[in-house]
Amino acid sequence: MQRRSSSGREAALHVAFRLLTIRARSQQELARHLRRRGFAPAVVADVLEDLCSRRLLDDRAFAAERARTAVLVRRIGARRLRAELRATGVASDIVEVVVRDLFGEIAEEDVALAAATRRLKSLGRLSPPVARRRLAAYLQRRGFASETIHRVLTAVLVDAPPARDDTQR
């Protein structure tokens, strides 16, 4: 029996290594995947502990890397970033520290401005009130705060009338 559990641990470790070579993962993501593959909870816990002790599995480093990519490449705001990191199983306290640190380095308004500028190119043929409304909705879905959205819209839509004009039919 000991040999069987040892080979189960080795197989789980092999699967974990393969998954981690593809991309970094949170402890919860990796545990979920290993359990779905049929490994016993004790084997999964042992493998996670082993990987953490080897510093191959680190939720803080994972969250920081994932956050930086999400903000700089995909241009998302703090609210959406928090939700995405929590969905990967990263603890809330780690999420808060990572988001605070990242947006301490990078201004959220700059990220929103970059996202709005890029999106505005595809809204060029629309009337200014419609473009304003759609751009605001886009930024909201990207996870930016209302105050940030308002400042960004004011900056990029200088010639557009205020948002209230498009509510009258």
Q: What is the CATH number of the domain that holds 45?
A: 1.10.10
State whether 85 and 101 are in the same domain: yes
Please check whether residue 8 is in contact with residue 39, taking contact to mean a CB–CB distance below 8 angstroms: yes
State whether 93 and 42 are in the same domain: no
Quick one: how many helices (H) and strands (E) in the chain? 9, 0
Q: What is the DSSP string of 16-33?
A: HHHHHHHS---HHHHHHH
State whether 112 and 145 are in the same domain: yes
Write the pLDDT tens digit of every residue in 25-75. 999 999 999 999 999 999 999 999 999 999 999 999 999 999 999 999 999
Please check whether residue 68 is in contact with residue 81, taking contact to mean a CB–CB distance below 8 angstroms: no
State whether 113 and 163 are in the same domain: yes
State whether 118 and 158 are in the same domain: yes
Please check whether residue 78 is in contact with residue 143, taking contact to mean a CB–CB distance below 8 angstroms: yes
Provide the pLDDT for residue 6.
58
Single-letter code of the amino acid located at 33: H
Task: Name the token pair of 167.
Answer: 């509510």
pTM check: above 0.85: no
Write the pLDDT tens digit of every residue in 69-89. 999 999 999 999 999 999 999
For residue 34, the enclosing domain spans 2-53
Please check whether residue 89 is in contact with residue 27, taking contact to mean a CB–CB distance below 8 angstroms: yes
Q: How far apart are CA 90 and CA 94, in angstroms?
A: 7
Please check whether residue 48 is in contact with residue 31, taking contact to mean a CB–CB distance below 8 angstroms: yes
State whether 73 and 101 are in the same domain: yes
Q: Which residue has the higher pLDDT, 121 or 80?
A: 80
State whether 163 and 114 are in the same domain: yes
State whether 114 and 161 are in the same domain: yes
State whether 147 and 116 are in the same domain: yes
Final residue belonging to a domain, choices 53, 74, 90: 53
State whether 126 and 139 are in the same domain: yes
State whether 101 and 118 are in the same domain: no
How many independent structural domains does the chain possess? 3
